[in-house]
Amino acid sequence: MGLVNSVFVLRDAMINGYAVGAFNVYNIETLKAVVRAAHEKQSPVILQTTPSTIKHIGEDFFAAAAKAAAAKYNIPIILHLDHGNSFELAVKCIRAGYTSIMIDGSHLPYEENIVLTKKVVELAHSVGVTVEAELGSIAGVEDDMYVNEDKSTFTDPEMVPHFVEKTGVDTLAIAIGTAHGLYKGEVKLDFDRLKKIHNLVDVPLVLHGASGVPDGHIRKAIELGISKINIATELKVAFANAIKRVFKENPEENDPRKYFSAGEKEVVDVVKKKITLFGSGGKA
């Protein structure tokens, strides 16, 4: 199977009340870990990279690795640009073989967010690539951007139908109280807002910043209409902690195949747990 776009995967999730995990990957080991976990659980999966990860490795390297994974494992795999920050980067990723693009114009004035998103949608749809946009802003550090918690604004449900209709987006990231990075305080999600938005539009909704959100909150969010859930920080922490353990036990270790394998194994475990929580196991 080649890489697929998000249409069937996320529509099926929306209709059948489960969510698909979108896992941020940083290198071959984390990419392999996510795909291996999804294959073991027979789950569709979204691999995603942020602009700074692309700067670090290159969109062509990720696309080649994701295509190899899709050829090897018989499950739906989507390669997604997370928090795409320009039309140019969207074009580069589509050319490299990404099958899904997020264009994040959430920091722009509303009308400009519509113009940028629509431009990316028109291009992406002409070549069968799906688009995610964001309305409202999610607190915390995402990639190189920092959004202050006070300044962050939750998604206004009344604006959602207009935005979806004007842009033609396939999926929408909404701000209902999650944050990027690690949580400092108690997690409070605005479930009423989510319910309202879900009732107003017919596109799969995306939850960003879901690392560290209690399982009960995640289950409720899925029940109320979340179809894609982004996990980044928890994978970074798992990968780093496993490698730290290797060096603590054996400070002389210098074989990347050994310390990276420890990280990979830990990421497989985290992803499998998330797939179970999201209910996407067996849906491949």
Of 82, 104, 143, 170, which is the active-site residue? 82
**Please, what is the minimum distance in Å from the beta carbon of residue 252 to Zn ion?**
38
Exposed, middle or buried: residue 181 (CB in 10 Å: 0-12, 13-18, 19+)? Answer: middle
**Please, what is the minimum distance in Å from the beta carbon of residue 208 to Zn ion?**
3
d(CA 237, CA 33): 14
User: Which residues in the 1-40 window bind Zn ion by CB under 5 A?
Assistant: none
- Of the ranges 32-40, 55-63, 206-214, 236-244, which one interacts with Zn ion (CB under 5 A)? 206-214
Catalytic residue status for 82: yes
Nearer to Zn ion, 41 or 83 (CB): 83
Binding of Zn ion by 283 (CB under 5 A): no
**160 to 116, 124, 165, 194: CA distances (angstroms):** 16, 21, 8, 11
Which residue's Cβ lies closest to Zn ion? 208
Exposed, middle or buried: residue 228 (CB in 10 Å: 0-12, 13-18, 19+)? Answer: buried
* Dihedral over alpha carbons 206, 21, 56, 235 (to 10 degrees): 120
**Please, what is the minimum distance in Å from the beta carbon of residue 173 to Zn ion?**
7
Binds Zn ion (CB under 5 A): choice among 32, 41, 80, 208 = 208
d(CA 141, CA 139): 7
**Where in the sequence numbering do the catalytic residues fall?**
82
Contacts to Zn ion by CB under 5 A: 142, 208
